[in-house]
């Protein structure tokens, strides 16, 4: 277990802020020992929560051309047939994974292939499970074309708490299934749009492990 690179700055800021608050408490209200103790305990819990959020566990990725892997840790909140309106403009099976602040927030490529489209959209910060979050929130759309010419859309969506989406690929890049696509800070959602003939392997409310749980299989 290591700390993800996206967490370094946040952890340093957290240490400085919490350290300043505790020093000020000791200097100003040291006569109220129970209050300073409460501040110290709450500071410690907050630091551990943020440290836990930025953890980067070692993952053993088992790659397969037919398997579509979960792009994130979290819970499946949507499995439905819908129209992908931004790029493909055709009918797809959408699977959405909600990540709570307690989940690992690394996002991974569900399939290997070539990045044929990439676009970042600034936007609102509706709660991640809101129906309009996929079209109105801050988000990034990534399209991956696999070796068989099948196109997959992965959409990172910021939530009410998440205020920064980080993505690593560039258009035209060749990417590997299970490698890091990006990171979303503090609560968010990832949508995957699959071909209609994909055989779904997960259920609503099922927990997923990014890079390991098989969402679906291609025929």
* Distance between CA atoms of residues 48 and 37, nearest Å: 17
User: Which residue matches tokens 């047939």?
Assistant: 81
User: Which residue matches tokens 């967490």?
Assistant: 7
Catalytic residue among 43, 96, 133, 188: 188
> 121: burial class by Cβ within 10 Å (0-12, 13-18, 19+)?
middle
Which three-class secondary structure state does DSSP give residue 76? strand
* Distance between CA atoms of residues 96 and 70, nearest Å: 10
Do 163 and 147 touch, CB atoms closer than 8 A? Answer: no
Query: Catalytic annotation on 188?
Result: yes
Do 47 and 63 touch, CB atoms closer than 8 A? Answer: no
* Region class of 211: left (phi > 0), else alpha (psi between -120 and 50), else beta: left
Q: Which of 138, 155, 174, 173 is nearest to 87 (CA)?
A: 155
Active site residues: 188
């Amino acid at each position: 277990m290591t700390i993800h690179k996206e967490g370094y700055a946040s952890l340093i800021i957290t240490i400085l802020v919490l350290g300043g608050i505790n020093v000020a408490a000791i200097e100003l209200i040291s006569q109220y020992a129970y209050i300073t103790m409460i501040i110290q305990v709450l500071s410690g819990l907050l630091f551990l929560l943020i440290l836990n959020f930025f953890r980067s566990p070692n993952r053993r990725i088992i790659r397969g051309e037919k398997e579509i892997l979960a792009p994130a840790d979290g819970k499946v909140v949507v499995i439905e047939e819908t129209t992908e309106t931004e790029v493909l403009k055709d009918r797809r099976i959408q699977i959405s994974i909600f990540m709570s602040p307690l989940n690992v927030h690394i996002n991974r490529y569900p399939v290997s292939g070539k990045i044929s489209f990439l676009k970042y959209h600034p936007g609102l910060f509706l709660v991640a499970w809101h129906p309009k979050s996929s079209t109105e929130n801050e988000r990034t759309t990534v399209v991956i074309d696999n070796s068989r010419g099948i196109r997959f859309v992965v959409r990172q969506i910021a939530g009410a708490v998440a205020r920064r989406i980080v993505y690593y690929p560039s258009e035209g890049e060749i990417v590997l299934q299970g490698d890091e696509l990006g990171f979303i800070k503090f609560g968010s959602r990832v949508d995957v749009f699959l071909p209609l003939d994909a055989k779904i392997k997960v259920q609503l409310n099922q927990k997923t492990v990014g890079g390991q749980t098989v969402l679906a299989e291609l025929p």
